[in-house]
Amino acid sequence: MVNLCVQTVDEASKYLASRNNILIITHKSPDGDTVGSAAALCLALRSLGKNVYLFGNRGFTKNQNAYIKSLCAGEDFTPECVCAVDIADIKLLPGGAEIYVDRIDIAIDHHLSHKSFAKRLILDTNAAACGEIVYKIIKNLGIPITAEIAEALYVAVSTDTSCFLNSNTTAETHRIAAELLSHPFDFARVNREFFIVKSRERLDIETRLLSGMRFYMGGKVAVIVITHDMLRETQADEDDLNNIAALARSVAGVELGILIREREENECKVSMRSSEKIDVAKLCERFDGGGHSRAAGCTVKLPCQETEKTLIEALKEYPMFAEDTEELTV
């Protein structure tokens, strides 16, 4: 059992400033928030003369490599302090990081579903992104925000709000983004790379998902499924799948979009995106998952078809879906 010490921004800042040989860990299947937050924190602490590295997450994608180059630890690095960034549950540690399960000194997070596992925790569930908390730590330490740090933080904040479209976006989010934009980095390029440009492989798999999309509960629920065969046939990789879970929610009338992705023969990764009418974090917690109220995920140890049936059955318990249980075709 972890003897937890909850930290304020000032306490967390002083703690990190007092440490050296720091290893920063991002979560498995890394997104822009965990990568941007970790990179910004690493660069900021290095500016204080600290020896800081990122854990070499095997899931880093091509468009994330620009932010983690030269920051990853070598095999000979021995950390004295281990920091987890944007990790809500110890189960989300990336492959190879299991050796640090009992050695995480501080966790920086914003997930309401956070399950305490570190010795120290700074948690702000009102923050739209973990990048907002890291920004405040950097400012508290009096570290000048360089263009490189600003870009990393912008990636963190913009991606976790879907370029400021999601309901988690606040006035504070915009204030932070405004300051970051005052630094000379190419934010238009960042927006284009993360939110506009799509590879041909991405377009191919989107076409297949849209044509195979199934609707339930009077059209309020949309389900898309990615199988191994689809990935092999389209040659899509992790970069091509970035934020693809939002596809089902983009259809008019859909309150809940569900992405089911085949992992193993009898195991699927589920990602959910919802309107304000349903808390998907609570729904995913029923399957030992979690996340945000509007964006969450879980793992279901069943084949794709059975996973879909199980999720739809669970939804029948919600009053807003109780009267509309039929499946609709595209």
Report the percent of the chain where pLDDT is more than 90.
81
- Shared domain check, 206 and 186: no
Q: What is the pLDDT, as a whole number, of residue 324? A: 56
Q: What is the pLDDT, as a whole number, of residue 322? A: 65
Q: What is the pLDDT, as a whole number, of residue 2? A: 58
- Shared domain check, 319 and 261: yes
Q: What is the pLDDT, as a whole number, of residue 328? A: 42
Helix and strand totals (H; E) in the chain = 12, 13
Contacts of 111 (CB under 8 A, 6+ apart): 86, 88, 123, 125, 290, 291, 292
Asked whether the predicted pLDDT for residue 308 surpasses 80, the reply is yes
- Shared domain check, 323 and 209: yes
Q: What is the pLDDT, as a whole number, of residue 239? A: 84
Contacts of 29 (CB under 8 A, 6+ apart): 59, 238
Q: What is the pLDDT, as a whole number, of residue 293? A: 87
Region 16-22 average pLDDT? 97
Query: Where among 195, 226, 242 does a domain terminate?
Result: 195
- Shared domain check, 213 and 182: no
How many structural domains comprise the chain?
A: 2
- Per-residue model confidence as pLDDT tens digits over 250-279: 999 999 999 999 998 899 999 999 988 889
Range of the domain at 310: 200-328
Region 289-301 average pLDDT? 90
Asked whether the predicted pLDDT for residue 321 surpasses 80, the reply is no
- Shared domain check, 138 and 16: yes
Token pair belonging to 324 = 């509309």
Banded pLDDT at 247 (limits 50, 70, 90):
very high
- Per-residue model confidence as pLDDT tens digits over 146-169: 999 999 999 999 999 999 998 899
Q: What is the pLDDT, as a whole number, of residue 121? A: 97
- Shared domain check, 10 and 125: yes
The CATH number that applies at residue 160 is 3.90.1640.10
How far is Cα 118 from Cα 101, in angstroms, rounded to an integer?
A: 9
Q: What is the pLDDT, as a whole number, of residue 1? A: 46
- Shared domain check, 136 and 223: no
